[in-house]
Chains A and B, each alone.
Chain A
């Protein structure tokens, strides 16, 4: 065995993989592109469905990585990968006993759906903006006023041929329910409307939270996709949709429009795939070797997958995959498959 296991990405997937490997006595090196550990979760406020602070997950992982002396390098942009080495943009080659891809996914850029006016109208926000505002302790309209009516739109950049994203991003429905409840708690007098195509409440406690959002928090759920948003004189936004359960078009003005942006495959996946030979699925995420028995294995021997690099998934599922991958890596290092 030459070199250590190289982990590409220092979010929760990468950190937990390193920790699980360490517990099995296997050394690893985390290569992180940014200047800090934590990945996307760093910018998130509370996690569904339990309203657990994201920091309660991220901070202990960072602490554990530091305490266990796992080597981490920052500012590392990976340009090429195969099962024996990783090449950085500086030209440096790092030998690897195995490679774990933990570089996650990319939030859909809401500006591409121009009809919703993100980046054009002041009071259109994304789900990530709302998390940021919650973290900063101030959620408000662009001019600082308190919103009286909020619309939340599901499936922005997911399930949409128009933007080449056919897949369902899986976590945005439950995030929409979570954010609707949080907004309603902040603004009890506001009306909150969720516009959905399907409510995909797949996890434990999700459907129950949806029901509580309906009965206890009086959140309105309208089945229909908003077709467009237009600005009003007073910087509010008018939206149009079909209320498909009544079969009638529906129109209303809102103080805030929140777009639930989906997860899409990283642009980098293409060249990581072509250099390594690990195949991509049709949606650009990495393809597991077998979706029952070998979820954490790429189609290429020696290259492993953890977290949203292979498909949208929850934090809990990502952490479980990290432990599963560590065991499969240990087997690979010992028996070579």
Chain B
């Protein structure tokens, strides 16, 4: 039986762009080019009810997807209630609610 000494190995947090595969991200951006115009202002997250009660952060999640970091994204996006408040605010005119659905559809392999 393995003894637990209370130590664990930290997983590297680095985003390794050489290892990551951007194909799914490219598919998402091809079907929704406007998502690329995000300027990271955070208005979407500021307005988001889910983001105010949980750690959900739409800006961060979709940026991670664009770097090819897909792990846990689908589950994270389940926190979105699709209320569409964020879309009313995005200064780049991104249909953020549709982006949630597009990302979920691509990553969830519907």
Contacts and interface: CB of A to CB of B under 8 A. Distances in A.
Interface of A: 191, 199, 211, 214-216, 218, 220, 223, 243, 245-253
B83 to A, nearest CB: 23
B40 A215 contact: no
Given A249-B13, A252-B18, 13 more contacts: A211-B37, A214-B37, A218-B29, A218-B36, A246-B15, A246-B67, A248-B14, A248-B64, A249-B14, A250-B15, A251-B16, A252-B17, A253-B17
Given A211-B92, A250-B17, A252-B17, A220 B66 contact: yes
Contact of A245 (B22, B33, B59, B92): B59
Interface string B27-46: 00100011011011000000
Contacts of B15: 243, 246, 248-251
Interface string B6-29: 000000011111100010000001
Contacts of B40: 223, 245
Contacts, number: 52
Contacts of A251: 14-18
Contacts of B69: 246, 248
A88 B40 CA distance: 53
Contact of B63 (A191, A214, A245): A245
Nearest to A253: B18
B105 interface: no
Nearest to B42: A245
Interface of B: 13-18, 22, 29, 33-34, 36-37, 39-40, 59-60, 63-64, 66-67, 69, 92
Nearest to B16: A251
A253 B17 CA distance: 8
A249 B69 CA distance: 13
A85 B83 CA distance: 72
A209 to B, nearest CB: 12
12 contacts: A211-B92, A214-B36, A220-B66, A243-B63, A243-B67, A246-B60, A246-B64, A248-B13, A248-B15, A250-B15, A252-B16, A253-B17
Contacts of A215: 33-34, 36-37
A160 B39 CA distance: 23
Contacts of B67: 243, 246, 250
Contacts of B14: 248-251
B39 to A, nearest CB: 7
Nearest to A244: B40
Contacts of A248: 13-15, 64, 69
A314 B26 CA distance: 35
Contacts of B33: 215-216, 218
Given A199-B39, A223-B40, A247 B60 contact: yes
Contacts of B17: 250-253
Contacts of A214: 36-37
Count chain B CB atoms within 10 A of each CB in A211, A218, A246 and give the residue with the most. A246
Contacts of A250: 14-15, 17, 67
Q: Which 9 A-B pairs have the closest CB atoms?
A: A252-B17, A250-B15, A214-B36, A249-B14, A214-B37, A245-B40, A215-B33, A245-B63, A248-B15
Nearest to A149: B17
A150 to B, nearest CB: 13
Contact of B60 (A216, A218, A245, A249): A245
Nearest to B38: A214
Contacts of B92: 211
Nearest to B15: A250
A220 B16 CA distance: 15
Contacts of B13: 248-249
A245 B18 CA distance: 19
Count chain B CB atoms within 10 A of each CB in A223, A247, A250 and give the residue with the most. A250
Contacts of A243: 15, 63, 67
Contacts of B29: 218
A250 B12 CA distance: 11
A251 B16 CA distance: 5
